[in-house]
Structures are given as structure tokens and as C-alpha cells.
Amino acid sequence: MKNGMISPIYMDLRVVISYPSLMNEVSSLIYQHVQAQKLKFDCVCGVPYAAQPLATIICSRHDLPMLVRRKEAKDYGANCMVDGKYREGETCLIIEDLVTTGSSILETAEVLYKEGLKVTDAIVLVDREQGGVAMLASKGIRLHPVISMFKLLDVLLAAKRIDAQTAGDIRTFILANNTFSVPRSSDDENGNGSPVAKKSRKEQNQQLSYGARAKLPNIHPLASKLLRIMEEKQSNLCVSADVTSCEELLQLADSLGPKICLLKTHVDILQDFTLDFTQTLKALAEKHNFLIFEDRKFADIGNTVKHQYEGGIYQIASWSHIVNAHAVPGPGVVKGLSAVGQPLDRGCLLIAQMSTQGSMATGEYTQSVLKLAEEQADFVFGFICGSKISKRPEFIHMTPGVQIQAGGDGLGQQYTSPEEVICNKGSDVIIVGRGILGASDRVEATESYRKSGWEAYTKRLGQTGQ
């Protein structure tokens, strides 16, 4: 590969130019994706050299101004690096055939910046899902893939062009070889950044900030909203409000709401539940800018969970932004929930690991959960887990069983500290219940956990003092 990496899969899309009908079809797919994303731009530039023929066809068919980026300036004439007619301040859409690191798109963007052009979006036929989207997002460029590598593997597997072992080996390689690490400062404006230099192993383990992840082009809208809340409130704390009266739960929501990003409920333990209660809870979530997470743990066939989610006495879909589910029933459980939740802009977490001693949600089961999430990413946006299980920055990891003092109880619950969960295990959100509910001053305890969780996050980013 261009970056020197030895990969179990190599794609040479340059040969597409030798097949005119295929090249026309690929160009049509790219333009359809441009329209679907409703991208705004004044001109188009293909990354040299493989994407330039694709850009030419698209621009010719749809009457779009095209620019050509040179890899080297002519030693005669105008001596310019960009050919074509353009005005300073115009926005240029970049087209690419394949992305691994995103460096070729960034190189093209930097040439365009020097000519006074803006670049806000790029579109690529195939994203290898090895860090290109995140790297470009950190530079202010949204990358829009027509198809991702994981989706492509599913297509090849279904068509029996590869076997399950090969697909598994490639997935494992991709997850283990993310090429992007966060620069010390990610606030550079377009055109002022430079290509990311090779990092040390420690730096390679760093992650995008919550704010940068919220801007990723393929992120679930609810995940983006949650990450923005976390960044704005400097809180990665979810309080588990395991109380039995509506009045006490609403008091918690009102008093702790300013310090949390999520409030987790167990609605079926409330002894005086009414639908009026849910309206008040929604109003408090709006007032204090947090999301509601009903810890329902759906685990039945699709038709049953569909009715459990939208109907019954709780009508969960009408008031809870987020729900979770076990993957044991297979894809049907997600499809049933999605049929109700997607039209309401809801989202789902899959339970990949649990914080109880002797849990069977480990190993191959956890990997199966990860695969299901990738296949259902239009509704699933993250996991309940003990540690980070996916390197895709679009997925959010939430870890229960958190207390400042690690340990356990007499019923098998295992507690881990905020620093261990966020800084060492790579999770994004700490879920705290008894550590706050059992405190003499719940507001003070909440602030202590908020501060501990945020400090662990900034330490993970290498930005202490943020």
C-alpha cells in the first residue's frame, strides 16, 4: 500500500478506466451520493490520478466546473498547480476512488487552499475504514464514502467471492490498524494544518475528541448530539437513577441534570408510574441539556420488542432517547426496535459486556455483538461494555459499575474507577448509580464523578488542564 502497510486486501481501482461501462456506472454512483448528501460546492477536483477520469465524467454529464490539480508545476507558462477557472473563496468538492489514511485528499486540499479555495467535503468510492474519515474530520473536511470496507466484505461474502475466514481476517486487520492519531492541537483552520507525522505507539492509541467525533460524516445523529452535549458540559457522566418513585426520580433529574450528559432509568421499578411523569422528565432533559436512556435490555423477537417499545403502559419510544438490547435474539431484535425508533430519531446500544462477575457476555459473543452493530449502524450507535471493543470513532462505549473506590458488592457487581474506565479501558461514558445515590450529598457526589470522569478523558487525550 501507499503508506507502506502490508495488508491482506489490496484494491486497484485504477484499472476501472479500461472498462468504459463500469467507469460510467461508478461515476453515476458517486454523483448520486453527492446528491443524497446535499453537498454544496462551486467546482470539482479529482485526486490525481485515478479519480480524475471519474471527476471528468461527472462534471461533463452534469455541467459542473472542473479543476485539475497538478502533481508538479509546469516549468513554462503560468507555472500554476491548479488548472481551470475559479475565484478565490469558492468551495471545491474533492473526489477520490479509495481512502486509507486520507493523506491524498489532504494533499489535494492543501494545494487548493493555496489558490484561495475552500474545501469542506470530499467523496470517495471506497473507504477502507482505517482512519481516513477521522483524520480528515480533524482537518475540517467531511468525507462521504459511497461504500465502506466492512459493507463491501459483506457483499463479497454474500456473493461467495470470499469465505468467512478471509472476511474475518480482513476485519481483524482493519480494526487493529487504524492509521490516525490525534494531533496535540486539532483546532487548525482549513489549510493551516500539515500532514500527520508518524506517531509513537503511545500517541497512536489516542482518540479523537468528543467534539471532533460529533462532526464525523457517518455518525448517528443521536450519537453526534450526545457527544456535543458531553463536550459542551464537560461531562461524560451518566447517572443511573435506580429509584422507585417518580417524585424522587424527577428530583434527581432536576438537581443533577446540569452535571450529567445522560440520565439512565429503569421505568419498570417505578411504583407510581404515569405518562404525565414522562412529560415532566422530557421537559427537565430539555431544560438541563441531557439525554434519557431507558435501561430496558430488550431481548425478544422483533415483533415482540416492537410492541414493548412503542406500546404498553410505558410507551418507552415516546420519551426515551436511547434504549439498549441484548444481541442474543439476533438481528430481529434490532430491526423490531428500529422500526419504531428510527422515525422518532431514537438510537440503541447493544449490550456487549456486563459488569457482573461470571458474565457470559465475553469473547466470541462480544465479537458477534460488534458485527451486529456494524450491520445495523443506522440505529445502533454504541455499546454497553466494560472496555472499548470497536476502533470506529462513530461508536460510543458506555461502562456501568463505576465507583471512585473500585471493588464489588455481595451480589456479583464489580466496580471500576472512572480513570480505569475512561483512560485505560478506552470507554466514553461512565455510568454511576450507587456511588451517587448512596451519598449523603448527591449533588456534591455527582460533581465529584463528573470531574473525575472528565479529568480521565483529558488525560487520555493528552490534554490535561483542558
Q: How far apart, in whole angstroms, are the C-alpha atoms of residue 317 and residue 379?
A: 13
The residues that are catalytic are 295, 297, 300
**Contact predicate 59/66, CB 8 Å:** yes
Phi, psi of 288 (to 5 degrees): -100, 5
Does the pLDDT at position 72 exceed 80?
no
Question: What is the pLDDT at residue 413?
Answer: 45
Of the candidates 307, 328, 326, the residue with the CA atom closest to the CA atom of residue 316:
307
Residue 89 is placed in which grid cell? 473563496
Q: Give a three-class secondary structure readout of 132-188.
A: HHHHHHHCCCEEEEEEEHHHHHHHHHHCCCCCHHHHHHHHHHHHHCCCCCCCCCCCC
Q: How far apart, in whole angstroms, are the C-alpha atoms of residue 109 and residue 106?
A: 5
Confidence of residue 121 (pLDDT cuts 50, 70, 90): very high
Question: What is the pLDDT at residue 78?
Answer: 61
Residue 123 three-state SS: strand
Q: How far apart, in whole angstroms, are the C-alpha atoms of residue 125 and residue 32?
A: 11
Question: What is the pLDDT at residue 279?
Answer: 96
**Contact predicate 332/307, CB 8 Å:** no
Confidence of residue 32 (pLDDT cuts 50, 70, 90): very high
Per DSSP, 424 falls in state: I
Average pLDDT of span 193-201: 37
To the nearest 10 degrees (0 to 180), the angle between helices 363-375 and 331-341 is: 40
pLDDT tens-digit readout, 213-234: 998 988 999 999 999 999 999 9
Q: Percentage of residues in the chain with pLDDT exceeding 90? A: 67
Confidence of residue 207 (pLDDT cuts 50, 70, 90): low
Return the number of other C-beta atoms located less than 10 Å from residue 185's C-beta. 8
Phi, psi of 405 (to 5 degrees): -100, 110
- Sign for the CA dihedral angle at 313, 318, 322, 328 comes to positive
pLDDT tens-digit readout, 77-105: 566 889 999 999 999 999 999 999 999 99
Question: What is the pLDDT at residue 73?
Answer: 64
**Contact predicate 60/79, CB 8 Å:** no
Of the candidates 272, 282, 372, 262, the residue with the CA atom closest to the CA atom of residue 327:
372
Report which of residues 461 and 409 the model is more confident about: 461
271 burial type by CB count under 10 A (0-12 exposed, 13-18 middle, 19+ buried): exposed
Alpha carbons within 13 A on the beta-carbon side of 22:
8
Does the pLDDT at position 244 exceed 80?
yes
Q: How far apart, in whole angstroms, are the C-alpha atoms of residue 391 and residue 383?
A: 12
Helix (H) or strand (E) holding 282: helix 275-288
Confidence of residue 356 (pLDDT cuts 50, 70, 90): low
Which of 129-143, 305-319, 330-344, 434-448 is the least confident region?
129-143
288 burial type by CB count under 10 A (0-12 exposed, 13-18 middle, 19+ buried): middle
Q: How far apart, in whole angstroms, are the C-alpha atoms of residue 190 and residue 139?
A: 6
